[in-house]
Chain A
Amino acid sequence: MSIIKTDNLSKRYAGTDFFALDNLNLEVKEGEIFGFIGPNGAGKTTAIRLLLDLIRPTKGSAKIFELDINKNSVAIKKEVGFLPGEIFLAENFTGKSCIEYFRGFKDKVDNKYLKFLIGSLELDTAKKIRDYSKGNRQKLSIVLALMHKPKLLLLDEPTSGLDPLNQQIFYKLMSDAKRNGATIFLSTHLLLEAQNICDRVGIIKEGKLLSIENIDDFRQKNIREIHLETKKNILLADLQVPGVQKIEKKTYGYHLTTIGPNGQIIKKLSGLGVDDFKVYEPSLEEIFMHFYK
């Protein structure tokens, strides 16, 4: 069963002459974690806002749980948990009163699970929202999105503002939700995040969906930036092994761009007198330049 199905879903904002989202056709299946990857301004948030019926499509349509997103938005939202990248709430709420207010919209909230969520994230619900840090606001929004165990989670760059420890807790909560049958639609610009938790990814750029891939195929692309530190002069030809796309000489070594498994280059480096090396994840733009021109 398709949980989300879009049909040429498009949005052009008033006063602009371009589509923020252009003919989006995708299908998210029940129980999967679908990553929606793209740089800032690619149209990820627009897609989520359309699915939530906060904005209306210029053309095309979409269905969630096989219901039209505009005609049945209230019924759909009963089974949806929304987690924005940055949440804006009434500042005079305390964490507790905020949770109480939003649980008033839900048919059923399991108190045990709610306590578990608050405990896992170590959220202090006695504080006022205005006194919360960005990270704590994000923790609160995770509680609000998950407390009713929704069938579908719409997550818009959910880990922004979370420290690495809480990011791990969040990933664990997502895998628990998936295990309990939830479908997750996750927009992100973090490749590693998508690689860690998604089953499939959709690549979006300038409002257009460029490709949908299984996460294993996506991982195969494995584009990396490798910096080699050495005082020795190495012949560029010695670094030219399969997978290396680009070599640049720097003041204190060499900079390589590689694609695919890096076993061969590591083997080669052991004999070249390299003092140290650092591996970086490239920017999305770099990946897009290589694969999604």
Chain B
Amino acid sequence: MLNIIIQKFKEQRVSVFIYTGALIGYTLLMVSMFPSIKKMDIEAMTKGMPEQFVKFFGEEGMASYNTIEGYISMEFLSFFFILILTFYIGSSAGSTIAGQIEKRTIDFNLSQPVSRTKSLLAEGIVAIVYSTLIIIACSLAMFLFGIMFDSHFKISGLTAFATIATLFMWSIFGMAIFLSSIFKSKSAVMLTTFGITLFMYVFLSLTRMVDKIKDFDKLSIFYLYDPQKLLKSGEVNLNHAAILLAIFAIGLIGSIIIFNKKDL
């Protein structure tokens, strides 16, 4: 099992380095722009926008646009950050079962003395560790760039954000690895994971705009991930954390069960 983990770490290190570099670069861009954003009259700007547009991005978010937490959440952490990480997670989970079936490498890999469960977990560990490291690196970058550009983040806020963001990505991984155990192509896993994530984000935004569905906001996984609130309060909602962890566990256990029963 250890040799699978080491090999996967080696295989993915370059792409993870690129993902991390790109996200840190984007963080730098966003944080460096904040001092000039702060000077804008956000209230006047918001008034000039269509009502539905403001609702789509959240009225609370718009009102906090001139705070570093509100600004970075709206511009980066709420969606773009998640989208990039989903791309990595979807790709990594897609390669684990579906991608190996597609490339037909799974036969020889599983002709080795390793159980399907261990093989899946070994590759899963790598995706989980790398996604966690990317989130920690970005949180550290936010902290340092915040100091550089005089836009300080609270350490407790960043810690809370990193914790929930990590669990959020794990839950996406749970979903993606489950899809990987069903599908037979990596791209199908990636696209479906990407599609579901995008749909959930849009759905949560729609619940803010359409009164008839406003009570269904809890159905979106994004309900559990509110970077602005986390950065400001520095408090982790334990219920949210538990639900995210449960989604991850259910997806992972489901994929192990299906993979163990599957004809390859």
Contact = CB atoms under 8 A, between A and B. Distances in A.
A87 B108 contact: yes
Contacts of B108: 82, 84, 87-89, 141, 144
A110 B117 CA distance: 29
Interface string A78-115: 10101010011110100000000110111000000000
Interface string B103-124: 1111110111111000000000
Contacts of B110: 52-54
A77 B263 contact: no
A94 to B, nearest CB: 12
A279 interface: no
A13 interface: yes
Contacts of A82: 108, 111
A160 to B, nearest CB: 15
Interface string B214-238: 0000000000000000000000000
A15 to B, nearest CB: 11
B5 to A, nearest CB: 10
Contact of A102 (B103, B107, B112, B264): B112
Interface in A34-85: 49, 52-56, 73-75, 77-78, 80, 82, 84
Interface residues of B, number: 21
B52 interface: no
B103 A56 contact: no
Nearest to B261: A56
B27 to A, nearest CB: 30
Interface in B1-52: 2-4, 6-7, 11
Given A82-B108, A84-B108, A92-B11, A55 B114 contact: no
A84 B107 contact: yes
12 contacts: A52-B107, A53-B110, A54-B110, A74-B115, A75-B113, A84-B107, A88-B104, A89-B105, A90-B105, A92-B11, A102-B112, A104-B4
**Closest CB pairs A-B (n = 8):** A104-B3, A82-B111, A88-B104, A105-B112, A77-B113, A55-B263, A78-B113, A54-B264
